[in-house]
Structure formats: structure tokens, C-alpha cells
Amino acid sequence: MSKRDLTIVGGGAGGLVVASVAAQLGLNVTLIEKENKLGGDCLQHGCVPSKTLIRCAKVASLMRRGDEYGLPAIAPAVDLGRVNDHVRAVIDRIQVHDDPERFRGYGCEVIFAAARFLDPHTLQVNDEKIRSRRVVIATGSKPLIPSLEGLQESGYITNLDLFSLRTLPSSLVVLGGGPIGLEMAQAFSRLGSEVTVVEQLAQVLAQEDRQVAADLQARLAAEGIRIHTSTRALRVSRVGGRRVVSCSGGLELEADQLLVAVGRKPTVESLGLEAAGVDFTPRGIRVDRRMRTSQKHIYACGDVCGPYPFTHMAEYQAGVVISNAVFRLPKKADYRVVPWVTYTDPELARVGLSEQQARERGIEPTVLRFDFKGIDRVLTDVETGGIYKLVTHKGRILGASILGPHAGELIHEIVLAMQTGAKIGDISAAVHAYPTLSQIHRRVVNTAYAPKLFSSRTRKLVALINRLVP
């Protein structure tokens, strides 16, 4: 039986961060990944390929919009196989950073196999038993497949299949109006598919501000994407080579391909968590704020434990694990300021409380708003869509929702402001370069001061000052 200081199960973002640091600090570390590559879902089937595909679709859309820039409008002939070859090339370039030999060079043993707990300290890996002082579970998540009549028989795809398609479907039905569903719906629509989205809740992006989500839905609809909210898929059948989705309200949708994007579920099957004495639910492994499971020497991070299914959150939680499991210094996860982005066009970025959430907590917020069309850089780029909502209370920033170009980049000024306790006056006082999109931060904040600045009382005060002071 082999003995280790630390064993990590899962070679995605969180597991790789822990393995890299622990091995370079001299611990006896083993990293176990059941697939034959490191990088996890984010690199292979999620963040990297999806954002690459989204960018390709954006270029196709700009080609069609050439006349808006005084250039010829071109209708591109899209070869999805070639597009996905490009996607694969980008993955391969980033894969270099996750080369197993790099981690072996740090002194980390890397094993490609499934792992299963035999007891709280022992893992079965192939024919080997590994006994470890501490264990980190970072097995991520996978697509949630609904129990839908006829789905398995009719056939469907998920994000695991999208980036290996060689032929663009002429029509596509997307089950799910969350981030993955909307991102891929828009991308495939811009590449040339006829796309319909089915969402059983009353709004797309249920976690987002209602007004902002509705604005995004309207923009997607304007591009030709059909979106049915408050609509539940009831069954799927196959007629020839096409799928027919029967929905509530008598709606019947027919398409070449069906994408299931209704959510994610933690990958906990076959880990033997019962043998390890690790508590878990269908939503994932239970952890405390130090990322410890019910067995204090076993930690978890990333999608497998939540609460946020983001790569940047897995990396953050991995840092908490390193502090507790490697340095043995108590550190607790802090989820007060967590940004996330839906990478549609325009992007929707969010941090902190929405207007509705603030009121649910008994706070009557002051909500500052500014339209992107009032920013000169947006006009020069012919990207005029979007709205910015800053949720504040007594000058303190509670949260922000940004729907606009490069919102995912813009949100970080608010993240830093919230993290450091800066108030809206600090943002107003900061010089923002012209012409940049970042000017919108100052413009939205200044809407709080304009009514007082140009009030009749202020005008009288200015007149008095100028009479009295030579």
C-alpha cells in the first residue's frame, strides 16, 4: 500500500491548483484524474471551447453587419467542422499548461484512472491502494439530464458533444434558458442555425435582475432566436432524422438537433463517499467554510461542493484548501463578493445583490441606472445595446448588473470597490480615460449626484457665492 501526504481526486481547475502548490512545497502528492487529460470540463467542454465558439459566431455576425461600418456586408459560408477544428486548436494550446509532465516535474504523481474510497484514508486506484493523510475531492460536475419521456430514444447532445460536431444543424431546440443554453443558442444562431429555446421558468437567467434578463431576452429575440418561457418540455419523439419536442400549452417544436442545457449536477457517483463517511446530497458534497467535509481531513472544492459552479470559484476555493490542508492555517471561504458572467452578446455580468434581492433582505436600495448608448466608445464601436444597474444603499455598493459590451471586463471595477469597501463617491472621483467603456462606471454613479447638483437650491447657493466672492 502506497502512502501519501495529500491525494487529489480530480484534475480540473481546483484540483490542479492544489496539486501544483502542494507538490512544489515538497509534499508527497498524488493527483488522480479519471479522464486521459488534465484540465477538466472547463478546458475540454466548457469555458474555453464555448468562448472560442462564441467569438467565431461574433465574427460571423460582424461580417453580415459590414454595412454598419461602411464596409461590404458578407454572408459567410459556415463550415462547422472547420470552426470546431479552430476550437480544438485553442484547447490544445491551453492544454500545454495542463501537461501532466509539468506536474510530474513538480514532484506530483499523476495517475489517469478512476478512484474509489475504501475507508476515510484509503483509495482504490486500479490495482493499487493509496493511503493518504489528507484528501481533496475536486471531481467537478456534469450535465444534468432530465427524466423526459422519449429523450434517450430520440437522441440529444450536451456541452460534451457540441464542440465535436462536424455539420451545422439547420435547426436546433435548446432545453434550458440558463447561461449555457443562451450562450450556445446565440452562437449557433449566428453561425446559421434556426434556434428555439424552451425555459420552464418565467424568465431566462432566473438568478439575474428581472429587467436586465428581459432586456437580454428581447435582444436575442431581435436576432431571430425564438424563446418560450413558462414552457415545460413534456416528451421528445423522433420522426425520421428530426426531433419533435412536445411542450406544455400544446406547443410542438421540430428540429434537426436537440441541446440539453437544463443545469449541472455534481460528479459524486462511484467515489465511495459512503465508505469514506463523507456526507453529500444530490446538490453535492457538504463542506464547511474551510472546505472540510464531514471527515475533517477530507476537503472538497469546485462544482462538486458548490455553491457557485464557476472555474474562478473552484480556483478560489482551492486557495482556501491550500491554506487549511497544506499550511494548516485556518482560513474560511468568503462569498460576499462573487462575480459571474453570461457570455452572450451583449454580455451580462453580475456581482452582489440584485434590486429584488436587496428588497427581499429588507433593504430599500437606491438603484442607479445608465444606458450604454450614452457612452461615446459604444457609439464608435457600433455596439449601442445595454443597461447598467448599480444597487446602492447610503452610498455603499450592494451589487451591480451590467448588460453591455465587455461587461465581463467592466464588472471587476465594482468587484474591487465592494471588496475594499469603496463607496460610489470614490468611483466618481476616479479619473476614467476617454473614450473607454469604463467611463460608464462614473456616469452611472454621477446620476446619484445630478439631481442635487442642478437643483434650484444649489443654483441659488452658486448665485450667492458669486455675488459675495469677488
**CATH assignment of the domain containing 377:** 3.30.390.30
Q: Is the pLDDT of residue 454 over 80?
A: no
Q: Confidence class of residue 349 from pLDDT cuts 50, 70 and 90? A: very high
Average pLDDT over residues 246-254: 97
Residue 241, domain member (yes or no): yes
Q: What is the pTM of this model?
A: 0.94
pLDDT of residue 422: 97
Contacts of 29 by beta carbon, 8 Å cutoff, 6+ apart: 4, 5, 6, 7, 8, 19, 22, 23, 107, 108, 109
CA separation for the pair 110, 31 (Å, rounded): 5
Q: Mind giving me the DSSP string for 189-250?
A: HHHT-EEEEE-SSSSSSTTS-HHHHHHHHHHHHHTT-EEE-S--EEEEEEETTEEEEEEGGG
pLDDT-based confidence at residue 463 (cuts at 50, 70, 90): confident
Q: Please tell me the predicted confidence (pLDDT) of residue 174.
A: 98
Q: Answer whether residue 184 is part of any domain.
A: yes
**Is the distance from CB of 173 to CB of 255 less than 8 angstroms?**
yes
Cα–Cα distances in angstroms (integers) from residue 252 to residues 319, 341, 424, in the given order: 48, 32, 49
Q: Which of 214, 248, 263 is the last residue of a domain?
A: 263
**Per-residue pLDDT tens digits for 45-60:** 999 999 999 999 999 9
- pLDDT tens sequence across 395-432: 999 999 999 999 999 999 999 999 999 999 999 999 99
Does residue 410 belong to any structural domain of this protein?
A: yes
- Given a contact cutoff of 8 angstroms between Cβ atoms, the answer to whether 188 and 273 are in contact is no
Q: pLDDT-based confidence at 462, cuts 50/70/90?
A: confident
**How far is 308 from 335, CA to CA, in rounded Å?**
9
Same domain, 159 and 290: no
Q: Tell me, yes or no, whether 409 and 349 share the same domain.
A: yes
When comparing pLDDT for 456 and 57, which is higher?
57
Domain-embedded: residue 443: yes
In 66-206, beta strands by DSSP E: 109-112, 115-119, 122-125, 128-137, 141-143, 171-175, 194-198
Is 253 found in the same domain as 120? no
State the Cα–Cα distance between residues 304 and 246, nearest whole angstrom: 33
- Considering the domain architecture, whether residues 273 and 254 belong to the same structural domain is answered as no
Q: Is the pLDDT of residue 450 over 80?
A: no
pLDDT in tens, 145-193: 999 999 999 999 999 999 999 999 999 999 999 999 999 999 999 999 9
Query: 120 Cβ partners below 8 Å, 6+ apart?
Result: 276, 277, 278, 295, 297, 298
> Can you tell me the mean pLDDT for 337-366?
97
Tell me the pLDDT band of 2, cut-offs 50, 70 and 90. Answer: confident
One domain for residues 137 and 275: yes
Residues 380 and 438 in one domain: yes
C-alpha to C-alpha distance for 220 and 205, rounded to whole angstroms: 13
Q: How confident is the model at residue 468 (pLDDT cuts 50, 70, 90)?
A: confident
Q: Which long-range contacts (CB under 8 A, 24 or more apart) does 192-195 make?
A: 192/60, 192/78, 192/168, 193/168, 193/169, 194/170, 194/224, 194/255, 195/171, 195/224, 195/225, 195/226
- Indicate whether 34 belongs to any domain: yes
Phi, psi (degrees; rounded to nearest 5) at 348: -120, 115
Site of grid cell 436546433:
172
Percent of the chain scoring above 90 in pLDDT = 94
Residues 204 and 218 in one domain: yes
Confidence at 436, pLDDT banded by 50, 70, 90? very high
The answer as to whether 433 is a domain residue is yes
**Structural domain total, the chain:** 3
Domain boundary pick from 263, 281, 306: 263
Do residues 210 and 322 share a domain? Answer: no
The yes-or-no verdict on residue 470 having pLDDT over 90 is no
What rounded mean pLDDT belongs to the chain? 96
Assess if residue 83 is contained within a domain. Answer: no
pLDDT of residue 53: 98
Q: Are residues 172 and 271 in the same domain?
A: no
At residue 388, does pLDDT exceed 80?
A: yes
Q: What is the pLDDT of residue 319?
A: 98
pLDDT 10s digits, 124-145: 999 999 999 999 999 999 999 9
Contact, 406 vs 348, CB < 8 A?
no
Res. 344: pLDDT tops 90: yes
Residues 344 and 407 in one domain: yes
Dist CA 7 CA 136 (whole Å) = 6
Q: How many CB atoms lie within 10 A of CB 234?
A: 14
* CATH code (residue 311): 3.50.50.60
21 in a structural domain:
yes
Domain boundary among 326, 349, 371: 326
Q: Do 15 and 157 share a domain, yes or no? A: no
Q: Which domain holds residue 184?
A: 151-263
Residues 228, 202 within the same domain: yes
pLDDT above 80: residue 455: no
State the pLDDT at residue 101. Answer: 97
Confidence band (pLDDT; 50, 70, 90) for 451?
confident
pLDDT, tens digit, for every residue of 292-329? 999 999 999 999 999 999 999 999 999 999 999 999 99
pLDDT at residue 467, as a whole number: 81
